[in-house]
Amino acid sequence: MFYALLATCLVLMATFIVVRVKFGGVSGLLTKTLASFAFLVLAIFGSFVHGLTLIAVFIILGLIFGFIGDIVLDLKVIYKQHESIYLNAGMLSFGLGHVMYLVATVLFANALFLPDIKTLYYAMIAFGIAGVISIVIALFGEKMLKLNFGKFKIQTVAYTFILSFMSAFSLLVACYAPTFFIFAGGITFIFISDLVLSKQYFGGMQDNGLLTTLNHAIYYLGQIAIASSLFFIMG
């Protein structure tokens, strides 16, 4: 059943990307909704198989916020006159999703009987890494990447901090428990996909087919990995 659901997720992901690049609009939104709903179903099934623990609950909540964010950001493409509203709402939704993932990561560390001081140590390292990345993006990001954040600079830097912190923190915890690398890899993939997305949103390449394909492929592989992690970290 796991492999059947995983295959379904990948097929719906590929279908959405093709529709999004070739047609966009409402058809793109509908196929995106199906693709996002699929990784949510995969996670729910994983929690059903291995038990609905608090870790699973917060991972599913993170995926739900991702599901909402997916729909909101596509509305931005359809209703361009309300671009600011949908972009801010999308960032907020994905940001809240990563807060859920943070709670799940801490709970997982505690379930491993990882000493609190070591968890705090990992968090401090991740905080430092995220701080450096965010400062670099704030001061030099636009020039280095040829972007123009405009009125979204504060939100973008804050969002960068959240994503880079979670990527670093989850990877550090995964070094202690290798089965967590599936989850941590998913978080990191989402961070990478948003780097590609920033080039589209703030680099004047919104309709670039190659970047659209790369962004969505990396993003969905990330969310599918997070959903799949429930079959391994809870097993």
The CA–CA distances, whole Å, from 223 to 102, 111, 176, 179, 199 equal 15, 23, 22, 16, 21
The string of pLDDT tens digits covering residues 29-48 is 899 999 999 999 999 999 88
Rounded to an integer, the average pLDDT of 149-166 is 90
Report residue 3 as tokens. Answer: 């492999």
What's the pLDDT tens digit per position in 65-106?
A: 999 998 888 787 667 777 788 888 988 999 999 999 999 998
104, amino acid identity: A
pLDDT at 18 over 80: yes
Instruction: Supply the pLDDT for residue 113.
Output: 65
Range of the domain at 223: 2-233
Confirm if 213 and 18 have CB atoms less than 8 A apart.
Answer: no
Number of domains in the chain: 1
Q: How far, in Å, CA of 17 to CA of 160, rounded?
A: 25
**Residue 204 one-letter amino acid:** G
Confidence of residue 131 (pLDDT cuts 50, 70, 90): very high
In this prediction, what percent of the chain has a pLDDT beyond 70?
96
DSSP track, 97-144: HHHHHHHHHHHHHHHTT--HHHHHHHHHHHHHHHHHHHHHIIIIIHHH
More confident residue, 81 or 61: 61
7-11, 55-59, 61-65, 205-209: least confident range: 205-209
Q: What is the mean pLDDT of the chain?
A: 89
Residue 165 pLDDT more than 90? Answer: yes
Q: Is 126 left (phi over 0), alpha (psi -120 to 50) or beta?
A: alpha
- Output the pLDDT for position 5: 94
